[in-house]
Amino acid sequence: MKKVNIKGRNYRILRRARKGSTGRQILDGYSDATNAEIYISETTGRDFHQVLMHEMIHACFNEVGIDIPLQIEEIICESVSTMIDQNFKITPRKK
């Protein structure tokens, strides 16, 4: 899987670490709406698809123009991605 469609916009998926705002912390994932890219750290100990789902929800919020405090957005992204991960097996659609 190299791209995901989020509200009609293709986001590239990159397996690369990305540092947090302090520059010290390595993030499990990062959604870059400006460049339509989602980074998933190759060293994350978490499930790839759950991290991807979390970042896709961030990207979706951005694409539809939802602007809420980041702390609340994080709770929603983490809760929904965990709920999906615990109840469904996610496999990419063949194109």
Q: Name the residues that contact Zn ion, by CB under 5 A.
A: 74, 77
Closer Cβ to Zn ion, 56 or 77, answer by number: 77
Residue 19 Cβ, how far from Zn ion at the closest point, in Å? 14
Contacts of 88 (CB under 8 A, 6+ apart): none
- 23 forms beta bridges with none
Residue 93 Cβ, how far from Zn ion at the closest point, in Å? 24
Closer Cβ to Zn ion, 35 or 93, answer by number: 35
Structure tokens at 7: 């509200």
Query: How far is 72 from 23, CA to CA, in rounded Å?
Result: 23
Residue 23 Cβ, how far from Zn ion at the closest point, in Å? 18
